[in-house]
Every structure is written in C-alpha cells, then in structure tokens.
A and B are shown apart, each in its own frame.
Chain A
C-alpha cells in the first residue's frame, strides 16, 4: 500500500524541459494512468517515481518518506517494463519463482506466494506446464503473475501492452483491471492510448509538452475537459468545437453560432472569443426546419449506432445517431444539442470557461 506524492517536480535534459513544475497526489490503492502523446513527459515522470531518473528540482514521497534521490531498489516499487517477456525454456512455476529466488526469499514464503498468485490469476492448473505450450491468454497471465509475486508497494508500468497485438491488448486490459480490483495495489500506468486509459483507470492524468493539463476520474476528464487539448484527445470521434459569435459574458444562457442560437448551461466566466464544445452523443438530429440547419455528408455504421458527419454554417460536426434512424448522405436535417452537456472554451487561452455545470463538478484528484 502506498500514497505517492509529487511536489514541484521538474526535469530538464540540457536545454529541453521534459517535465515542468508538476505536483500531484496519487492516492493509495488507485490505478492512475498517465496519458498523453509521445514526448509529453509521462514516461519521464514515471521514471522519476521509479528512481531511474533524478529530478532537476522537486520532491517525491512514498507514504510520507522522501524517496526523491533513493536508488530504484531502495524503493519498494516494482517497475514493470515488459509484461510479457517470459523465459521460454523454463516451466510456469520456475518463471514465477525466478524473481523471488533472485531476492533470496525463503522457500516456504516462495511457495506461499506462488500458491496465492496462481489462485488470483486462475493458473493453478498450469504451474507444471512449460511456457512454450501455453495459449496466448494463459501466457499473459503467467507474465502478470511474475510481476505481482514480488508484492511491491506500487506497480509502475510503461506502456506494458504496447507490443501486444490488438486483440490481446483488449483482453489484458480486462485482466489487469480485474487484478487491480483484487489487489488494490497503487499502480501508475503510462500509455498514449485513451482506450486503455478509460478501461483501466480510477484516475487519469493528461499530459502534454511536459505539463499536467488535467487530473481527474474518467467521468471528469470526459465531461469537463480542462482545455481544448484534453477535449480533442479523449473520445472518438472527438468533441465537436464550434465558433461562437461574439464575446461570452457571465450570466449568459445562450450562445450564437453562425445561423443559430444554442442554449448553454449558465456561464460563470468570460471570454472575448469562445468555442462551443459538444460530444457527438449530445448532438441530436431533428426535423430539417428545427435547430441548426445541416447536411449529412457521410455516415458510418457501428451496429448499435451511426456516426454522421454534418456540414453546417457553423462548421463541420459529428453526431451519434440512433440505429433505428438511418440518415442518408446528402439529406438535410436540423440539429439540437443537449444543453446540460455543453461546455465552452476560451478561444484564445483554449481553457474551459466555468459554468453552473462545471462548477458543480468536484475533481477527484489534486494537481498543480
């Protein structure tokens, strides 16, 4: 069990700043995902927590103890680089025992832990097998077992699923999440893949260009993105952003797009220029003479729904359409928005403009 605190952490490589002045509290027992595009500083942050890099400034504490400059093995943290490298010439049991024998753990303790891990991962029946003959899913579970058998205070994982083929990646997400429910070991997981983040995380930290842009649970990240970058990075298709005509005043409850006025949650900030943010599932197709006028440019079929690309005077946007309605290409339609789900951004700073709904939301993670 461990709470990890990062205070004013900074990392420079020569004249390049990989991580800017970041502060973050990773709560005990949470699965925290550091999410961002390559070069955003997520891996550098993880490596500083592991002790593989030392920060240029700032502090890292583990359960209150300052570990900032401790060597990796002096921290009770397991860095999992590659979940899936097993020794092919060894049996399943030997693969699991290997890290423990290396650490000089007594025999009886090794047996106890192997038994427990095998039960958690449902691989008891495989302990006598050779790794070479295992099916893909079983092999992944054995590899996971080898990481957890050490019983560290925290797991650090750097894109551990990246090298797997897509299908196993999805299966392993389910497996990892299930394992976390069971063990509740603090986990820091680095990925650039939002699907992995959404499937795994209690908390998500979105980073870009060395800065933490937002830290919250998936609901907060998805519904109240702190800025345009987060809004576009999370969600497929991404959030629609439409130009608002004129300045935004506090107290306003509607904004004007080209050709149409849209009701929004009561605005509590101001912006000289603003963008209206609407997720595709919060755009509804209505009769052609109602709402914002649009034309269906393209439709894609997803079984449970359609995604329609619509051209309007206010710009191009995408809408999620019920499977029972079949929009056809070229069709003229009207568009309405789910007022309570709309957000606004300052077009100059690209930051979220506060409203009654965003103010009612309490982020579940602290960062600075």
Chain B
C-alpha cells in the first residue's frame, strides 16, 4: 500500500495542456475519486501515476520516494479499464492468474491457486473459473477484470470508469462490492469517473477536475455542501443545482453577488398565495421533481407529491436563506450574507 503525491505536475500533448500544474496528496489507504467531464484530464492523471505517460514538469512521489522517472513495473500499480480486456482463449482462472505468472514474479502454482480462489470468492465468480470469458455476462467479465487487478496485491489500484459499461443493477452491486473490498483490504484506490453517484458513494475524498486543473478537493459532503465555485456546485447534484439571478434576492444577498444557487431538495414548494407565482413546466412523480418557471428562469424543486401538478399550474416557491449560496460574476463563492 502507498501514498501518492503529485507536485506541480504538467502534461502537454502538442499545443494542448492536458494537466496544468496539478498538486495533490493521496493518503495511504484512501479511496480517492477524480471527477470531471470528458477531456478534464482524469484519465491522463491516472496514466501519469501509472507511468504510462511522463510529465513535462513536476514531481511524482509514492510513499515519499521520487518515482517521476521510474518504469511502470517499479511503481506496481494495477489498472482496471472501462472496457474489460480479457484473453478470450484462456479460462477465467488463467485470466486472473495471468499477472502472477509473469516471469519476474516466480510465484509457485499452489500460491497462485490460493490467491486466485480467494479473489474469485470475494467477487462471487468461483463458479465461472473453468469457463472461457466469452461464455460470461458483461458483469461477470468486468468482475474477472477487477479480479485480475486484485490478485496482484499491488501498492495502488488505478481504476478508469470500471463500472460505466455495465447496466444499472450490476453497476450498483459492483459499486457496493468495490467499496467493501477496498475497506477490507485497506488498499489505496485512485478512481476516475464522470458519474457523481459513484463519486459520492465510493470516495473518501473527491477532486473535481476541469480543463486539466483541480477546482476543489474535499470529502463528498464538503464538495456537495460547501462548493467554492459555481462550476463545482454544478458538478455535483442531480437534478443540477438551481442558479438564480441575484436580483431576486435584493436585500438578503451580498451586493457583489451575481448568482444565487440553491439545491433542488432545498427549494420549498407551497400553494400559491398570489404573491410570487411560478408556472409549472414539468412535474414527475417518478423523479420527485417539479420544474417551474418565472421570467424565463427555470427552477427545479425535488419534492414528494401524491398528485402530479399539471403544466401551467401556478405554485409558490421559497428559498430558505440558510440554504442559499452566493457567487460573484466570476463564479467565486461569497460568504453568506
């Protein structure tokens, strides 16, 4: 197991700066999630840690040791990719055993058998060990791919969207399993995803990446409840956070505020009393969501209703002041009024 430190790491591809002066400390045994849209630099960060790419500037350390120039094998990271890449001609057993049979490892077959069986039990794929990967379902194949990473007992696991090719049910099941495995083994995991559910449920800490830069690092609830910028506020939360004009909050808002943001579950829906009226655009009893509009601004409220509101119905919405977040014109968070 290992801690990882990135210090001033920059990576360019031609004219494009994929990673821009990134500094990050990942603790030993931490489940660390890199969250961001595609093109943010998440995968490049993983590849830099693994040694599959070399940085143009900066220092990379593992357990304090400078490994910036070390070969990938010396770093001892196990990579799990989004698309499971298994050897179709080998059995599941041999696929999982494969990394242990590398000539430099010299592990005897009894030890290999012990480790493969232990990993297979953890992932509930004992029954498939003698089968070929092509005879497995997608979820089973991805378990085998994860198993092949786990069996090595490396210093660090690097996972690049390992669940995103699976359907919803399996994704949930494997997500829970991954977290359990990580807790039980105390492994350091760096996990890339664009899926906020994976981020908030798996992470000890999350780093929000955008355009090759880290926007904020914190625990899931710090990122969700205390975003330092508007784009971080918009990165987590489904449905997305409401961004309202500061003019709606005159008197209660900081004079420098140009946007006020409030989470849909914090918006309070009340029957219209004739004062402020919003017109319902959409109401979903499945998503527990009401979308309403006032002067061209859409507001989303997450609320449990027994009866659907019809589009066009008038409702009153209120925004509890203690739930509002204020941002200046550049999107920077302002202290509460």
Contact B286 A302 (CB under 8 A): no
- Chain A's interface size range is 20 to 34
Q: Which of B168, B169, B176, B285 lies in contact with A223, CB distance below 8 A?
A: B285
Report the separation of the CA atoms of residues A237 and B176 in the bound assembly, to the nearest whole angstrom.
12
Does B264 contact A304, Cβ atoms closer than 8 Å?
yes
Complex Cα–Cα for A136 and B194 (A): 15
B172 to A305, Cβ gap below 8 A? Answer: no
Q: How far is the CA of A281 from the CA of B285 in the complex (A)?
A: 12
B224 pairs with A303, CB closer than 8 A: yes
Tell me if B302 counts as interface (CB < 8 A to partner A): yes
B236 is contacted by which of A238, A281, A303, A305 (Cβ under 8 Å)?
A303
Which of B164, B197, B302, B306 is in CB contact (< 8 Å) with A340? B306
Interface residues of B in 296-319 (CB under 8 A from A): 302, 304, 306, 308
Known contacts A219-B285, A281-B288, A303-B224; decide if A166 and B195 are in contact (CB<8 Å). yes
B130 on interface, CB distance cutoff 8 Å? no
Do the beta carbons of B237 and A301 come within 8 Å of each other?
Answer: no
Check if A167 sits within 8 Å of B194, measured CB to CB. Answer: yes
What CA separation (Å) do A301 and B286 show in the bound complex?
Answer: 20
CA distance A223 to B305 in the complex (A): 12
B134 beta carbon closer than 8 Å to chain A: no
- Give CA–CA (A281, B82) in the complex, Å: 31
Residues of B within 8 A of A222 (CB): 285-286
Q: Determine if A146 is an interface residue (Cβ-Cβ < 8 Å).
A: no
A166 to B167, CA, bound (A): 10
Alpha-carbon separation in the docked complex, A250 to B200 (Å): 44
Beyond A136-B38, A304-B302, whether A236 also contacts B168 by CB under 8 A is yes
> Does A366 have its Cβ within 8 Å of any Cβ on chain B?
no
Stretch of A115-123, A187-195, A207-215 lying at the B interface? A187-195
- A327-368: CB near B (< 8 Å → 1, else 0) gives 000000000000010000000000000000000000000000
Flag if B263 contacts A166 (CB, 8 Å).
no
Nearest A residue (CB) for B308? A219
- B117 CB–A CB distance under 8 Å: no
Q: Does A218 contact B (CB under 8 A)?
A: yes
Q: Mark B211-248, 1 if CB is under 8 A from A, else 0.
A: 00000000011001000000000001110000000000
A198 at the interface (CB under 8 A from B): yes
179-234 of chain A: CB within 8 A of chain B: 192-195, 198, 218-219, 222-223
Cα of A166 to Cα of B163 in the assembled complex, Å? 10
- B286-A304 in contact (CB<8A): no
16 A-B pairs with CB atoms under 8 Å apart are A166-B161, A166-B164, A167-B38, A168-B38, A192-B167, A198-B287, A222-B286, A281-B288, A281-B304, A300-B201, A301-B220, A302-B200, A303-B224, A304-B263, A323-B265, A340-B306
Starting from the known contacts A166-B161, A223-B286, A304-B264, 5 additional A-B residue pairs (CB-CB under 8 Å) come to A236-B168, A281-B288, A300-B200, A303-B221, A303-B238
Question: Which 8 A-B residue pairs are closest in the complex by CB-CB distance?
Answer: A166-B164, A303-B224, A300-B201, A222-B286, A304-B265, A167-B194, A301-B200, A218-B286
